[in-house]
Structure 1
Amino acid sequence: MNIRILKRMLLAGLLLLSACGGTSNIGPNAGPTTQDNVNPVIGSISGLLDGDTVSGTVPIAASATDNKGVESFSLRINGSQVANTSGGAMSYNWITTGGADGSYTLVFTASDAAGNTTTRTYTVTVDNGGGTPATGTVGGKIYAPNGVDPISQALIYLFDNTKPDNMGTSDETEPDGSFELAGIPVGSQTFVMKKGIFEDTFTFNVQEGTNTLPSGLTTFDAADAGDMLVVTGAYDVIENVLAKLGLGEVDASGNLVLGTEIFDLVDGASKLDDADYPNFDTVFIDNRDYTGYKTIFLNCGNEWETPFFADTDAVADLKSWVEDGGRLYCTDWSYDFCEQLWPEMVSFENTDGSGDGVSTTPGNPNEAQLGASQSTIQADVEDAFLLSWLDGRGAANSDNTIDVADWLPSWTVINDVSDDVKVWVSGEVNFGFPTTAAQRPLTISFDAGTGSVLFSSYHTEEFASTDLTAQDRVLQYLIFEVL
């Protein structure tokens, strides 16, 4: 074949291969690679424009898009990051009254997973009049989820991202639930209120002068109690009191309507339908799957105590749960859940005296039920805030005592407590054989690790009632104070 013709044929073949998208790459890595070189796009920014003069609180809302998705979207003001989100939408309330008047540089930065970055810079001037910015006083009352009972010593504060822990002006509520925050900048502001396991956030448009917050904003959400677990007992009904706090519905007699409770129920006394509620042994002995809860209530009269305390792993796990931040509340015959785990904190009466006095050795189980039957004890309230709160609810007597009723025979008697134990209620009681009269703690609490334990010798609510007794009120207060 003519060499010239052969060269032309080879050249035509190469041209054809190139036109068909051919490549000289050979092997498993053949083919072109695709690299993301597309920068994110910062879209609209509402609330301000480049070159604006602003004052007060500036609500900023910005958006960004990317062909592969926005990895991060941040805002820096004068070099300090004040907002950052993992998506393409950002909102931020800039409280300009927290700084001096003058020029500020705002840098919005959007990035994708490939490292492509887009920035947009605004320069704005803050002018709050060069003098004292307009402010208002914000007041109101904080309520339990039932919207009726006020919460004492709840924390409420202005959310301020320029402050440590975002806590700006703050106050603690009085026994009647009231508070007052002065010097709050006018405009839309965010407030946080906390008490125990309850925490809620809301916004309010502050006006110059006096502002009274509506109760709808300052009532704790019942859903905050979703981390509570209640173990039923034979002789106490804590769940009824919780329902009256707004954590469930009650019937005409004052009993919890099963199925309406915000908290979880576990059967400790063959009271509940096994098809709807687990038994104590399943949750606390077999599976020990209560670690997600923040608070556990143990009613008096648990039929699973003997097998529980026979299982050293189950006992150790409950103790660890508390000391890792859990809150445990026990009444009357459930006292062994306190003394057997923390004998150095509380000692109960024993028939043979082995539990007399606080020590590292607990007394014998089930031997402290020595209390004599009494219809009512006029008990002393040992905490000033609790007394003031009870007085405001009409639950305290004129001599600063409360009536604690329905003392059945064989209730549990505290012998002694450590100096680190807080005594909330005490009283002169009758106990033992022969009967002895002595002043004893009746409601106590103490810290255990980062958690806490609360015990009450008397029942919270032995009989269903639509009314709230003095001892019901004590539990209401302590749910927010300790638990």
Structure 2
Amino acid sequence: MNEGGIIGERVTLSGRVMAPSGAFPVSGALVFLTKEDLEPIPSGVYHYECDEMQGTPYALSKADGTWTIENAPVGTWKLVTRKGNFRRVREIEVATGMDPNVHEELTTLPGSRTPDGLDMTPSFAVVKTSPDLTYDLLAKFGMGQVNASGELVQGTESFHIYEDGGFSSYAHTSTLFDNDNLHNYHMIFLPCYASSVGVPFVNNNIQKLRDYVSKGGRIYNSCTVSLWTEAPFPEYVDFYQDDAPSRFDIGRRTNTAYATKGTMLDPDLAAWMGVVTGSDPNNIAFQNGYVTIDATQEVNDGHGLEKDGFVVKPYTWVRDNGTYAGSPLMVTYNYDLGKVFYSVYETSSKTAAITPQEYVLLYVILEVGVCANLPPEVK
């Protein structure tokens, strides 16, 4: 995406990247100027490679969402904001003497796709279940409307919902695995307690889950339905006691929910959590935990990232510093072109406001597809 021949007068532009709801800032978003027509983001699973920024005026948003492009050439440009598979494109006229503060709407991540391709969002499939209400969290993020209690208003969502028992207006979880249906989605969410299909069903679909992730798909899984990720990927996470794929609640530590405090191990996550929660990122409250992880394992099986010598290296985002001190609370690992996300707790509950542990999930899934090793910002 080289904008070769950039000469002439330059203008400094500044702004802030916001979540689709407009309620909080987004860290690490790519903001850039281009005159090229952008390719549509594929609606199904694919391998997102880094956008080439060499010679292109760009910036990455900071923990508070702010960004600055100090070298914007005068002229008519497409202003592009991208975070993973969320992308907004708006036309902007850069002129000397203009107000350098770009209106937030121009760099607010979209909550739904538009037919003209100017707003694009990920293709998500979410299993609607309880007690982990991930569909409500995505709506609070801005991918749907919510009522005063923070619950999704049915029919306003910009993602596909599958039901896991008791929500008969949607297709059942099992249909997510019909033919190649999984491959219609960038990411699937299998939260607690998505289990109505039964243990044999999961074990019979191990290869489909592996193939989906291998080709670039993402899986989020939580709490006491850890079978969904442990069965297809048993090598990388050692759960409490027996890891055999004979039950959904692999790693269950207790029959009653535990609360604890967590330390953000990722420095960028820590900085952002300090902004959006106003709390100490080394002492964030977590609740509704049932599972514990004993350890994660690096495995040299050829399925990791090229930069890691194809070794799979699980990454712990948050570590327990309270009830089960030292145990990972949120882990991810790459597998070929895709990624797996697992939290030991029920992430989402019925609340009008986004909770700290919900913010952690939003940050982690928004890291998907962000370019690494970008060139120095053009000055």
**TM-score above 0.5, yes or no:** yes
Does structure 1 residue 177 correspond to structure 2 residue 84?
A: no
Report the alpha carbon displacement of residue 253 of structure 1 after superposing the two structures with TM. Answer: 1.6
| SS of 2:192 mapped into structure 1 | coil
1:390 Cα deviation from its structure 2 partner: 1.1
Could you tell me how far 1:235 is from its partner in structure 2? 2.0
Retained in 2: the 8 A contact 1:225–1:263?
Answer: no
In structure 2, the gaps of 5 or more residues are 37-50, 113-119, 299-312, 370-379
Per-residue deviation, 1:134: 1.3
Q: Measure the CA separation in 2 of the matches of 1:282 and 1:229.
A: 11
Instruction: Return the TM-score normalized by structure 1.
Output: 0.64
1:36-115 aligned within 5 A: 98=5
1:165/1:392 Cα in 2 relative to 1: closer, same or farther (>3 Å)? Answer: closer
| Structure 2 residue 353 is matched with structure 1 residue 467 | yes
The aligned amino acid for 1:184 is A
Q: Secondary structure at the match of 2:326?
A: strand
Offset at 1:308?
A: 1.7
- Higher Rg of the two aligned structures: 1
1:22 aligned residue: none
Q: Deviations over 1:178-209 (max 9, x none)?
A: 11111211121122221111122221111225
Deviation at 1:219, TM superposition (A): 0.8
Distance 1:331 1:166 in 2: 36
The alpha-carbon distance between structure 1 residues 185 and 272, as it changes in their structure 2 partners (threshold 3 A), is same
2:185 to 273, 282, 293: 293
- 2:342 alignment counterpart: 455
Alignment RMSD: 2.5
Any residues of structure 2 matched to 1:24-423 within 5 Å, and which?
98=5, 133-159=8-34, 165=52, 168-208=56-96, 211-223=100-112, 224-225=120-121, 227-268=123-164, 270-273=165-168, 276-284=169-177, 286-302=178-194, 303-311=196-204, 314-351=205-242, 355=243, 364-365=246-247, 366-371=249-254, 373=256, 376-397=259-280, 400-407=282-289, 411-419=290-298, 420-423=313-316
TM-score, normalised by the number of residues in structure 2: 0.80
Counterpart Cα distance in 2 of 1:338 and 1:319: 9
* Structure 2 letter corresponding to 1:144: A
Which amino acid in 2 is paired with 1:219?
T
Relative contact order higher in (CA < 8 Å, ≥ 6 apart):
2
Deviation track 1:263-288 (CA, whole Å, cap 9, x = no partner) reads 000012x1312xx310011222x445
Q: Secondary structure at the match of 1:139?
A: strand
Deviation at 1:376, TM superposition (A): 2.8
Report the secondary structure of 1:460's partner residue.
Answer: coil
Distance in 1 between residues matched to 2:255 and 2:193, nearest whole Å: 17
Q: Which amino acid aligns with 1:403?
A: A
Deviations 1:46-83 (A, max 9, x none): xxxxxxxxxxxxxxxxxxxxxxxxxxxxxxxxxxxx9x
| Cα separation, partners in 2 of 1:253 and 1:475, compared to 1, 3 Å | same
Q: Distance in 2 between matches of 1:307 and 1:235?
A: 22
Distance 1:320 1:450 in 2: 10
> SS where residue 182 of structure 2 aligns?
coil
What is the deviation of 1:152?
0.5
Cα deviation code 1:90-145 (max 9, x no counterpart):
xxxxx8x926xxxxxxxxxxxxxxxxxxxxxxxxxxxxxxxx72110111011111
Give 5+ residue unaligned stretches, structure 1: 1-81, 83-94, 100-131, 356-361, 431-436
Q: Is the 8 A contact 1:350 1:363 kept in 2?
A: no
Match of residue 85 from structure 1: none
What is the correspondence of 1:432-443 to structure 2 with a 5 Å cutoff? 437-443=324-330
Q: In the aligned structure 1, how far is the partner of 2:104 from the partner of 2:192?
A: 35
2:305 aligned partner? none
In the aligned structure 2, how far is the partner of 1:371 from the partner of 1:387? 28
Query: Matched residues in 2 for 1:471 and 1:395: separation?
Result: 13
CA distance in 2, matches of 1:393, 1:350: 36
User: How far 1:316 sits from its partner (Å)?
Assistant: 0.6
Letter of the 1:153 partner, please give it.
G
Contact 1:348 1:363 in 2 (8 A): no
- How many residues align structurally? 330
1:482 Cα deviation from its structure 2 partner: 3.1
Q: Distance in 1 between matches of 2:348 and 2:338?
A: 25
How much has 1:395 moved relative to structure 2? 4.8
Partner of 2:277, secondary structure, is coil
Evaluate the alpha carbon distance shift between residue 348 and residue 152 of structure 1 in structure 2; reply closer, same or farther with a 3 A threshold: same
Deviations 1:138-173 (A, max 9, x none): 110111111222111111112155xx9475122111
**Structure 1 runs, 4 residues or longer, greater than 3 Å off:** 164-167, 362-367, 371-375
**Structure 2 vs 1, CA of residues 422 and 186 (structure 1 numbering), >3 Å: closer, same or farther?**
same
Q: Is the Cα–Cα contact under 8 Å of residues 339 and 348 in structure 1 kept in the other structure? A: no
- Separation in structure 1 between the aligned mates of residue 213 and residue 66 of structure 2, nearest angstrom: 32
Distance 2:86 2:103 in 1: 19
d(CA) in 2 for partners of 1:154, 1:384: 16
Q: How far apart are 1:234 and its partner, in Å?
A: 3.0
User: In structure 2, the residue corresponding to 1:216 is in which secondary structure?
Assistant: helix
Quick one: distance in 2 between partners of 1:166 and 1:369?
45
User: What fraction of aligned residue pairs are identical, expressed as a percent?
Assistant: 27
